[in-house]
C-alpha cells in the first residue's frame, strides 16, 4: 500500500516535472533552420537581388529615384503580398518567409528592401488580419497586384509618443471627417491608400485613438514635397495633410479606442521587417569589405592577411549573425520584447558593421563611387525609423521586468 502510494506520488511528481519541462521548452525552444519553402523564398530573393537590385542600387541612391521597375517585378513574383491570404491575391506565407526575403532584397538595395518590408509588415498584413471583407475588397486586393499602401502614424509633434496624436476624427452620421497632418509617410507620393491613426478627443490620449483606411485620392488629402534623406534615398517620404477629408464610417478598422493597440501591434511586426532590413545591409557591408580586402594589398600582402583587418571582419561576421538570429526568433515568436530586441541589436550592429566596412576601405570608404558609404548611411537609418533605439531598449527592459513580476 505504502509502496503503491509512493509510486503514484513519484509518478505524479515526474509528470508535473515533465509538464513543466515541456512548458519551458515551448517557451525557450527556437531553431534558425529554414524549412524548404523558406529556403525557396530566400534563394528566389537572393537571385533577384543579385540580378536586378545590386547593379542598380548605387544609381537609384544617387538619383533618389523610386525603384518602380524593381517593385513591379517583385509584385509579379508575389513579394508585395507575401503574408496576405491567397483569396485576396497573396501567398499566405509566414513572417519568417517575409523576413528572409526582406533581408536578401535589402542586401542588394536597401531602399527596395525597405519599400517591400513596409508594404508587407505595415500595410497589407494589417488589412489582411483586421479588415472587414468589404475593406479587403477595396484596400487589399489591388495592393497585392501593384498598388502601394502607406502607414501614417507619426506627426510633427507625435513620433515615439503616439498618444499625443492630434489628427482628429469627427463622426458625422455614416461618415468620418479627418483633419490633421502626418509626417514621414513612406511611399506616400506613389501610394494609393493610407492607414491613418486619428483621435476622437485629444484629451483621451491613447484611449481616444482610432484607425482608418483612406484612399489617397480622397478629396482633401494633400501630399507634401519629398523629404531629402540621408539613408534609403530611393524611398520617398513626405508629409500628408488632411483637410475636411470625408470617408465612410465603414472604413474604420476596429472600434474607437482600439487605435493605439492596433498601432502598437503593427509596430511590433514592422520591427521584424526593419531588423531583417538591417541584417541585409550588414551582410552587404560585410560582403563589400571582404571583397575589397581580398584584392587590396598593403605592406606587401593582401589586407586579409593583416590581423587588424581580420579582427574587424570577424567582429562584422559575429554582429551580423547575432542580429540575424534575433530577427529569425522575432519572426517566429512575435512579441513586443522579441521584435524590439531584434530591431535594437540589428540596427546597432548594422551601423557598427558598416562603420568597419568604411574603415577597411579607407579613403575609398568615403567615396560615393564605392558602396561602403551608402551602406553606412543606410545602416544608420535603421536605428531611427520604426522606433528609435532608445525606445526599443526601454521596451525590452519593461517586458523583461514584467516577465519577472519586478515592475
Same domain? 373 vs 271: yes
**Do the domain assignments include residue 3?**
no
Tell me which long-range contacts 62-65 makes (C-beta under 8 A, separation of at least 24).
Answer: 62/233, 62/368, 63/234, 64/226, 64/228, 64/229, 64/233, 64/234, 65/234
The per-residue pLDDT for range 208-223, each reduced to its tens digit, is 999 999 999 999 999 9
User: What would the grid cell of residue 118 be?
Assistant: 513596409
The per-residue pLDDT for range 254-277, each reduced to its tens digit, is 999 999 999 999 999 999 999 999
pTM: 0.91
**Do the domain assignments include residue 26?**
no
**Do the domain assignments include residue 19?**
no
Structurally, the chain folds into a number of domains equal to 3
Q: Using an 8 Å Cβ cutoff, are 140 and 193 in contact?
A: no
The per-residue pLDDT for range 171-202, each reduced to its tens digit, is 999 999 999 999 999 999 999 999 999 999 99
Q: What is the DSSP string of 97-124?
A: HHHHHHHHHHHH-HHHHHHHHHIIIIII
Q: Which pLDDT value is given to residue 6?
A: 35
When pLDDT is cut at 50, 70 and 90, the band that residue 28 belongs to is low
In 10 A of CB 29, how many CB atoms?
9
**Do the domain assignments include residue 294?**
yes
In 10 A of CB 323, how many CB atoms?
28
Q: Which pLDDT value is given to residue 332?
A: 95
How many residues belong to the chain?
407
First to last CA, the chain: 48
In 10 A of CB 394, how many CB atoms?
15
**Domain end call among 127, 144, 161:** 144
Same domain? 378 vs 390: yes
Residue 264: half-sphere exposure toward Cβ, Cα within 13 Å: 16
Q: Which domain range does residue 298 map to? A: 261-403
- Nearest Cα residue to 74 out of 139, 123, 145: 145
Same domain? 271 vs 396: yes
Amino acid at each position: 500500500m505504502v509502496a503503491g502510494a509512493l509510486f503514484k506520488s513519484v509518478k505524479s511528481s515526474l509528470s508535473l516535472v515533465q509538464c513543466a519541462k515541456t512548458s519551458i521548452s515551448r517557451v525557450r525552444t527556437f531553431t534558425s533552420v529554414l524549412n524548404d519553402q523558406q529556403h525557396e523564398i530566400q534563394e528566389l530573393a537572393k537571385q533577384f537581388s543579385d540580378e536586378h537590385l545590386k547593379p542598380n542600387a548605387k544609381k537609384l541612391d544617387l538619383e533618389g529615384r523610386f525603384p518602380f521597375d524593381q517593385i513591379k517585378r517583385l509584385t509579379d513574383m508575389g513579394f508585395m503580398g507575401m503574408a496576405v491570404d491567397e483569396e485576396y491575391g497573396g501567398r499566405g506565407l509566414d513572417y519568417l518567409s517575409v523576413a528572409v526575403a526582406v533581408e536578401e532584397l535589402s542586401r542588394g538595395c536597401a531602399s527596395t528592401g525597405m519599400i517591400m518590408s513596409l508594404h508587407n509588415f505595415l500595410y497589407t498584413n494589417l488589412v489582411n488580419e483586421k479588415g472587414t471583407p468589404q475593406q479587403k475588397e477595396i484596400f487589399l486586393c489591388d495592393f497585392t497586384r501593384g498598388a502601394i499602401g502607406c502607414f501614417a502614424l507619426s506627426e510633427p509633434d507625435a513620433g515615439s509618443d503616439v498618444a499625443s496624436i492630434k489628427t482628429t476624427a469627427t463622426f458625422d452620421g455614416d461618415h468620418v471627417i479627418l483633419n490633421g497632418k502626418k509626417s514621414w509617410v513612406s511611399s506616400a507620393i506613389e501610394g494609393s491608400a493610407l492607414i491613418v491613426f486619428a483621435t476622437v478627443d485629444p484629451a483621451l490620449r491613447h484611449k481616444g485613438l482610432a484607425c482608418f483606411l483612406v484612399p489617397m485620392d480622397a478629396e482633401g488629402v494633400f501630399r507634401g514635397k519629398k523629404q531629402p534623406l540621408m539613408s534609403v534615398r530611393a524611398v520617398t517620404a513626405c508629409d500628408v495633410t488632411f483637410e475636411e477629408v470625408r470617408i465612410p464610417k465603414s472604413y474604420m478598422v476596429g472600434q474607437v479606442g482600439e487605435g493605439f493597440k492596433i498601432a502598437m501591434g503593427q509596430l511590433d511586426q514592422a520591427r521584424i521587417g526593419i531588423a531583417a532590413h538591417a541584417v541585409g545591409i550588414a551582410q552587404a557591408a560585410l560582403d563589400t569589405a571582404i571583397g575589397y580586402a581580398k584584392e587590396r594589398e598593403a605592406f606587401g600582402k593582401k589586407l586579409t592577411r593583416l590581423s587588424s583587418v581580420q579582427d574587424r571582419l570577424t567582429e562584422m561576421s559575429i554582429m551580423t549573425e547575432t542580429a540575424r538570429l534575433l530577427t529569425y526568433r522575432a519572426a517566429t515568436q512575435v512579441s513586443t520584447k522579441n521584435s524590439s530586441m531584434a530591431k535594437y541589436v540589428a540596427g546597432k550592429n548594422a551601423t557598427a558593421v558598416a562603420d568597419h566596412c568604411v574603415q577597411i576601405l579607407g579613403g575609398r570608404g568615403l567615396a560615393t563611387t564605392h558602396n561602403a558609404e551608402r551602406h553606412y548611411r543606410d545602416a544608420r537609418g535603421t536605428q531611427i525609423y520604426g522606433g528609435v533605439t532608445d525606445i526599443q531598449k526601454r521596451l525590452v527592459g519593461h517586458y523583461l521586468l514584467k516577465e519577472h513580476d519586478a515592475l
